[in-house]
Amino acid sequence: MRKKSTEYNQIIKALTYLHKEFPNCSFTNHLFLILEEYKYTSSLWSMTDKEFLFALEKHQTTTLLQHPVTPRTHWQELPTDEEIDQILRDGKNLDKLFQEEEEEEDGY
């Protein structure tokens, strides 16, 4: 009985992880993709917890390989519009930046 409980808890943890990392994908989408890979759609009721956990782990791995998750922390922020504009301006003026660096090196 303990083993089933462990598999059940692992299923809940894996589903929670998928929901956290891919909030735009609904539970039913994940469920469909999990079952589609193993052709269990017609025999869902006959799946054991072990079989479902295996299919779920394979789906989770496949999803992470196709859509890598970038861990975000509180200190990582997206650049502002002004920062993006500055990057674009600097990119257009790379030749000027290199000339300024060469002039500085020549001056020493």
Please write the tens of the pLDDT for every residue from 46-70.
788 888 888 888 888 888 877 766 5
Give the number of domains in the chain. 2
**74: in domain:** no
Cβ proximity of 30 and 15 under 8 Å: yes
Q: Which of 91, 62, 68, 55 is nearest to 21 (CA)?
A: 68
Of 56, 10, 15, which is closest to residue 33 (Cα–Cα)?
Answer: 56
Q: Is 25 among the domain residues?
A: yes
In a domain, 71, yes or no: no
Residues 83 and 60 placed together within one structural domain of the fold: no
CA distance 106 to 1: 78
Looking at the fold, whether 9 and 54 belong to one and the same domain comes out as yes
Q: What is the mean pLDDT of the chain?
A: 76
What's residue 39's pLDDT? Answer: 65
Domain extent for 13:
2-66
Instruction: Tell me whether residue 73 is in a domain.
Output: no
Together in a domain, 59 and 86: no
> What number is the average pLDDT over the span 35-53?
74
User: At residue 72, does pLDDT exceed 70?
Assistant: no
Judge if 61 and 29 occupy the same domain: yes
Entry pTM? 0.54
Query: Are 9 and 51 in a shared domain?
Result: yes
Instruction: Give rounded-to-5 percent helix, strand, coil for the chain.
Output: 75, 0, 25
Could you tell me which residues come within 8 angstroms of residue 92 by beta carbon, excluding any fewer than 6 positions away?
A: none
Note whether residue 38 is domain-resident: yes
